[in-house]
């Protein structure tokens, strides 16, 4: 059998740790300094640097002004694209956008606090977002769908997509058609770390964005890491990951198909099956070899077979790995879904293939990797939003809040902070004093009027009658 046709299958000892599973992933040499140099060239050289780097790194000679894809080129690509594919992408986009909106609460929430003031918190989209879509050797219109649908659900005003061009300098029609379907505002034919630098810092023609999202190779992810802080980023995503937790009821052929589907993403991924039945794992190994040979592709990602003492131990191992994708398959494994806390996305049951999540289910395929599922979420509408509080303090709330705040500030040695609060207290007391004086004066006037003698009816009538002339 030709080398590489069958994936390397690694049996781990029962009780192996998450670290042992993750150790199967190659780490690769550090590219930090080389990425830093690329970012500096783009930041300082702008469009000219993008053209030079496209030639040096991608082997693509682009004419000046040819980095941005013209709208008529996008429209022409959409017209040429396969109509059935466009229908499928439309279905996927609608599902992703519907699921993405589930993460959105009210646009504005107001809470009333015990001191008598209210805080309004608004959810606001970033104005301009960048989406990186891998390309070059292969086309990924599905990634356009995943990122752009979430951004549109969030209310992003301007969405910019960067795609590495092919050797001919073009971008695949399907990718451009997906950009048209999702009403992407700008498409640029540039990839790698240089694309991330251009999005972060801008060039003469590409305006900088507020946030960058999307998957990509380790050059792209290292660049996202380095520009974070100057712009927002969704996360630093690594190679694809899938862990399957199965019992003896699981169909080993279906599980083998799912494992190979993730393994074909490239040699740097993490693919593992966890099960308490050694015999079932042995059957799975045979299915993996047979299916890989039948598919005829090259599978270089090691596939780990991890026996465990029980499903509970298996779940604990999965939780420690915190994989990008987690499948639970089998009558006893599937009910454990409610207990999962650490996974980018969970697929439950034989029908819930990870590949459905990659394309059309509605869950997003831009997911946390490398164990980041412990603290990060999939790309969704909130990825492209931030929350902003609006504070107004009525007079009745000021005294209690300012006194407490000034006390804390003086304890921390921040005397100017304290004084800014104390001055407001003084102003409020002055106003209260003025108000009290006005009230006191008003009360004295009212008291004086009340103390004056009240005329009798005869006196009042006499004053009201006209004076008569005295007769001589």
Determine phi and psi for 203, rounding to 5 degrees: -135, -170
Q: What DSSP state is assigned to residue 382?
A: G
Q: Mean pLDDT over residues 440-457, rounded?
A: 56
**451 pLDDT exceeds 70?**
no
Could you say which of 236, 253, 275 is where a domain stops?
236
- Shared domain for 228 and 256, answered yes or no, is no
Could you say which of 215, 236, 257 is where a domain stops?
236
End-to-end, the C-alpha distance of the chain in Å comes to: 150
Coil/strand/helix, residue 160:
strand
Q: 448 or 54, which is more confident? A: 54
C-alpha separations of 448 from 440, 445, 459 in Å: 12, 5, 21
Extended beta strands in 247-372, E state = 270-275, 303-307, 325-329, 345-348
Q: What's the whole-model pTM score?
A: 0.85
Half-sphere exposure of 271 (CA within 13 A, CB side): 28
Q: What pLDDT score was predicted for residue 254? A: 98
- Each residue of 318-375: pLDDT tens digit? 999 999 999 999 999 999 999 999 999 999 999 999 999 999 999 999 999 999 999 9
Q: Determine the Cα–Cα distance for residues 240 and 370; give it in Å rounded to an integer.
A: 9
Alpha helices in 301-414 (DSSP H): 311-321, 354-359, 395-411
- Shared domain for 161 and 41, answered yes or no, is yes
- Shared domain for 141 and 19, answered yes or no, is no
Q: How many domains does the chain have?
A: 3
- Shared domain for 410 and 357, answered yes or no, is no
Q: Determine the Cα–Cα distance for residues 390 and 396; give it in Å rounded to an integer.
A: 18
C-alpha separations of 42 from 212, 225, 252, 425 in Å: 16, 16, 49, 52
- Shared domain for 102 and 224, answered yes or no, is yes
CATH number at residue 270: 3.40.50.1980
Q: Mean pLDDT over residues 451-466, rounded?
A: 48
pLDDT grade for 61, boundaries at 50, 70 and 90: very high
* Residue 334 belongs to a domain: yes
* Residue 336 belongs to a domain: yes
Q: What pLDDT score was predicted for residue 456? A: 52
pLDDT grade for 450, boundaries at 50, 70 and 90: low
Could you say which of 203, 236, 269 is where a domain stops?
236
Q: 472 or 354, which is more confident? A: 354
* Residue 357 belongs to a domain: yes
Query: 114 Cβ partners below 8 Å, 6+ apart?
Result: none
- Shared domain for 43 and 181, answered yes or no, is yes
Q: What pLDDT score was predicted for residue 436? A: 60
Check if the beta carbon of residue 220 is closer than 8 Å to that of residue 132.
Answer: yes
Check if the beta carbon of residue 370 is closer than 8 Å to that of residue 238.
Answer: yes
- Shared domain for 286 and 325, answered yes or no, is yes
Q: What DSSP state is assigned to residue 83?
A: H
Choose the catalytic residue: 325, 327, 334, 365.
325
* Residue 19 belongs to a domain: yes
Q: What pLDDT score was predicted for residue 447? A: 55
* Residue 366 belongs to a domain: no
Percent of the chain with pLDDT over 70: 90
Task: Give strand pairing partners of 162.
Answer: 132, 188
Check if the beta carbon of residue 353 is closer than 8 Å to that of residue 90.
Answer: no
- For the question of residue 324 being annotated catalytic, the response is yes
Q: What pLDDT score was predicted for residue 220? A: 96
Q: Determine the Cα–Cα distance for residues 134 and 143; give it in Å rounded to an integer.
A: 8
- Shared domain for 206 and 246, answered yes or no, is no
Check if the beta carbon of residue 125 is closer than 8 Å to that of residue 156.
Answer: yes
- Shared domain for 245 and 96, answered yes or no, is no
Choose the catalytic residue: 241, 277, 319, 324.
324
- For the question of residue 325 being annotated catalytic, the response is yes
Domain housing 425: 394-447
- Each residue of 246-303: pLDDT tens digit? 999 999 999 999 999 999 887 889 999 999 999 999 999 999 999 999 998 778 899 9
- Shared domain for 158 and 67, answered yes or no, is yes
Percent of the chain with pLDDT over 90: 77
- Shared domain for 169 and 143, answered yes or no, is yes
* Residue 452 belongs to a domain: no
Which range (102-111, 135-144, 220-229, 406-415) has the least confidence?
A: 102-111
Which range (31-45, 56-70, 318-332, 407-421) has the least confidence?
A: 56-70
* Residue 333 belongs to a domain: yes
Which range (14-23, 386-395, 436-445) has the least confidence?
A: 436-445
- Shared domain for 213 and 261, answered yes or no, is no
* Residue 91 belongs to a domain: yes
């Amino acid at each position: 059998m030709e080398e590489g046709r069958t994936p390397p299958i690694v049996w781990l000892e029962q009780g192996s740790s998450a670290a042992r599973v993750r150790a199967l992933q190659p780490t690769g040499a550090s590219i930090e300094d080389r990425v830093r140099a690329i970012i500096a060239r783009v930041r300082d050289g702008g469009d000219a640097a993008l053209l030079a780097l496209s030639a040096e790194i991608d082997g693509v000679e682009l004419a000046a002004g040819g980095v941005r894809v013209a709208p008529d080129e996008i429209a022409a690509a959409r017209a040429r694209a396969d109509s059935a594919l466009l229908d499928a992408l439309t279905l996927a986009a609608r599902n992703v956008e519907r699921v993405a909106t589930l993460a959105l609460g009210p646009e504005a929430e107001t809470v009333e606090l015990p001191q008598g003031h209210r805080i309004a918190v608004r959810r606001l989209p970033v104005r301009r977002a960048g989406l990186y879509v891998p390309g070059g050797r292969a086309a990924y219109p599905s990634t356009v769908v995943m990122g752009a649908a979430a951004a549109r659900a969030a209310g992003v005003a301007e969405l910019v997509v960067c795609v590495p061009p092919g050797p001919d300098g073009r971008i695949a029609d399907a990718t451009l058609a997906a950009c048209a379907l999702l009403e992407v505002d700008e498409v640029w034919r540039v990839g790698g770390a240089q694309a991330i630098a251009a999005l972060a810092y801008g060039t003469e023609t590409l305006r900088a964005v507020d946030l960058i999202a999307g998957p990509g190779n380790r050059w792209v992810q290292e660049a996202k890491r380095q520009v974070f802080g100057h712009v927002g980023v969704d996360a630093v995503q690594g190679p694809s990951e899938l862990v399957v937790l199965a019992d003896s009821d699981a169909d080993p052929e279906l599980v083998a198909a799912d494992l190979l589907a993730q393994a074909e993403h490239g040699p740097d991924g993490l693919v593992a099956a966890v099960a308490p039945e050694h015999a079932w794992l042995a059957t799975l190994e045979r299915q993996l070899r047979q299916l890989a040979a039948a598919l005829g592709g090259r599978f270089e990602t090691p596939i780990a077979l991890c026996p465990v003492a029980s499903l509970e131990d298996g779940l604990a191992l999965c939780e420690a790995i915190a994989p990008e994708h987690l499948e639970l398959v089998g009558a006893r494994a599937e009910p454990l879904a409610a207990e999962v806390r650490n996974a980018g996305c969970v697929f439950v049951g034989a029908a819930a293939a990870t590949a459905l999540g990659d394309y059309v289910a509605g869950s997003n395929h831009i997911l946390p990797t490398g164990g980041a599922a412990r603290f990060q979420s999939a790309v969704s509408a909130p990825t492209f939003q931030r929350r902003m509080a609006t504070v107004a303090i009525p007079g009745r709330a000021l005294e209690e809040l300012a006194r407490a705040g000034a006390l804390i500030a003086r304890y921390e040695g921040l005397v100017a902070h304290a004084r800014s609060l104390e001055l407001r207290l003084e102003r409020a007391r002055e106003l209260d004093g003025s108000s009290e004086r006005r009230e006191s004066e008003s009360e004295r006037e009212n008291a004086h009027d009340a103390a004056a003698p009240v005329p009798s009816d005869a006196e009042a009538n006499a004053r009201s009658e006209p004076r008569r002339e005295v007769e001589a």
